[in-house]
Amino acid sequence: MIPTSAQFEINRQAASNVVTYKAYLSLLNLAYAIVPVASSSYGIKYPASAITNGDKTHRNYGLAIGDTGYDVLFPEKNVWQSNGEANPYFYIDLGTPYLINKIQIFGHPLTPDVTGFNIQTSIAAVDWVTQLSYLKVQGYNYKNSPVPAVTVNVGTGEITTNATMNELWFESLVWARYIKFYCTAKSDTYIRISQFIVSRMKDVSEDLVDFGIQDSMTDNLKRRMAKSTDVSLRNYDKQYSPTI
């Protein structure tokens, strides 16, 4: 017999709650293997192609196959480094317009070369629009040192950061074929970028639910209550083949 005490009623109500979590599906990296157009390169061992080779590490920085210290487990010449110019930049041609809303920039893991930048988008590589509105901006540093601090100037769209990895989510989807990274401030003569990722985040929260039962309940009581509770997990096995 299932108990009918006041405590049981509290537990029963807790068991009947369906909790919805905010969940996002990250689509493919649209920039992968596309060679960017860069304002400059420090030399042949620091090519712009490193920005989109799919490897986020800083291994083989400035190294080619056969060089001392070259690690065969990672791509050669794995980091793009600019010349000592005031505002180094690069842009990527996706080949066709896409809806995008997420950018990730990986720099040197120990040194935040880039301290200010903005993201510009375009359909034809001439009508550049600086993105001003962001849903989220955040940064990461090795061992959290220094503590990441990333802010946006809502008037100019400039991102101010002390992080070596920066992640940006646009306020809304942006229709773009060309995406430009434009450095506005730096802590060194040049900047170093190991990876630039362009993608789209899709909110799939409505398709994910979690049935939660209080941990303090006994396994026997959980089983009995689960049998007496009608739970529907909507679209649990839904497969996504998005058109972008």
Indicate which CATH number applies to the domain containing 140.
Answer: 2.60.120.260
What gap in Å lies between CA 41 and CA 191, rounded to an integer?
10
106 and 162 both lie in a single domain? yes
16 and 128 both lie in a single domain? no
119 and 167 both lie in a single domain? yes
Q: What's the whole-number mean pLDDT along residues 81-99?
A: 97
Query: Is there a domain that residue 125 lies in?
Result: yes
31 and 146 both lie in a single domain? yes
Q: In the beta sheet, which residues pair with residue 209? A: 20
The mean pLDDT value of the chain amounts to: 84
Share of the chain above pLDDT 90, in %: 69
Give the distance, in angstroms, between the CA of residue 37 and the centroid of all CA atoms in the same chain: 22
Q: In the beta sheet, which residues pair with residue 57? A: none
Residue 170 half-sphere exposure toward CB, CA atoms < 13 A = 23
131 and 157 both lie in a single domain? yes
145 and 135 both lie in a single domain? yes
Between 15 and 185, residue with greater pLDDT: 185
> Would you tell me the crossing angle of helices 219-228 and 6-15 to the nearest 10 degrees?
60
The parent domain of residue 220 ranges over 1-23+204-244
In the block, residue with structure tokens 């170093």: 192
Closest to 187 (Cα-Cα) out of 96, 117, 103, 95: 117
180 and 209 both lie in a single domain? no
pLDDT reading at 161 higher than 50:
yes
pLDDT reading at 121 higher than 80:
yes
pLDDT reading at 48 higher than 80:
yes
Between 216 and 149, residue with greater pLDDT: 149
What gap in Å lies between CA 38 and CA 88, rounded to an integer?
8
pLDDT reading at 230 higher than 80:
no
Between 6 and 20, residue with greater pLDDT: 6
Closest to 120 (Cα-Cα) out of 186, 163, 174: 174
* Residue 48 DSSP symbol: G
pLDDT reading at 215 higher than 70:
no
133 and 189 both lie in a single domain? yes
Q: Across the chain, which distance is largest between two alpha carbons, in Å?
A: 78
pLDDT at residue 97 in the model: 96
Between 27 and 71, residue with greater pLDDT: 71
144 and 221 both lie in a single domain? no
Which pair of structure tokens corresponds to residue 187?
A: 């802590």
In the block, residue with structure tokens 């809806």: 99
pLDDT reading at 67 higher than 70:
yes
Task: Give residues with Cβ within 8 angstroms of 1, minimum separation 6.
Answer: none
Domains: count for the chain? 2
pTM for the predicted model, two decimal places: 0.76
pLDDT at residue 22 in the model: 66
Share of the chain above pLDDT 70, in %: 73
